[in-house]
Chains A and B, each alone.
Chain A
Amino acid sequence: EADIYQTPRYLVIGTGKKITLECSQTMGHDKMYWYQQDPGMELHLIHYSYGVNSTEKGDLSSESTVSRIRTEHFPLTLESARPSHTSQYLCASSSDRGEAFFGQGTRLTVV
């Protein structure tokens, strides 16, 4: 069973606030990812990491930032939330074999 956790599951926050979405995995995977998905729409990769101290931007431009100080932890931060950031954010990690395992997602609403 995949052990990857995201918190919070739901977040409603006011414009201009700083937020951090947490993602942790206990599988020892080096590779971790953040995807953004609007309802009924495609998954878009916004950040990924090959391992500790490695982070890269994904294919979809995002105003968020990430850090990877520990293997198991890959938080995503928005310095100043805006309504356009309203979306679902999915964290994933993958083994060397390739299959990615996903957390349950954080549904963010910025009002």
Chain B
Amino acid sequence: EDKVVQSPLSLVVHEGDTVTLNCSYEVTNFRSLLWYKQEKKAPTFLFMLTSSGIEKKSGRLSSILDKKELFSILNITATQTGDSAVYLCAFMKTSYDKVIFGPGTSLSVIP
């Protein structure tokens, strides 16, 4: 059975801190891993990772995938209160194109 585990489940940091969110997976026929940010309503897309070792960056956010060890990390540097959200890790498989989500990490950034 496919499995996605995110850690920590909840995190509280101060503005300016750097955080690392973890996503590990056990998925057959893995195709790609995706990161999303969910604030109040719908998730918004952050990154899609298909190849190992290639870092994706967008401003203060970056992510990398390790297909050998079956995990991905999402880094946020110099956190701001606007980064407070649930960060969702998801995957897609080659055999069918469902997007399956992990439980999420709830990040709270306090001033």
Contacts and interface: CB of A to CB of B under 8 A. Distances in A.
Interface of A: 31, 33, 35, 42-43, 45, 48, 50, 58-59, 90, 92, 94, 97-105
Contacts of B90: 100
Contact of A101 (B45, B97, B101): B45
Given A42-B103, A42-B104, A43-B88, A102 B98 contact: no
Interface stretch (B15-23, B36-44, B62-70): B36-44
B34 A104 contact: no
A45 B97 contact: no
Given A50-B97, A98-B92, A43 B32 contact: no
Given A90-B42, A105-B42, A98 B97 contact: yes
Contacts of B97: 31, 50, 94, 98
Interface string B80-93: 00000000101010
Interface residues of B, number: 21
Contacts of B88: 43
B45 A100 contact: yes
B110 interface: no
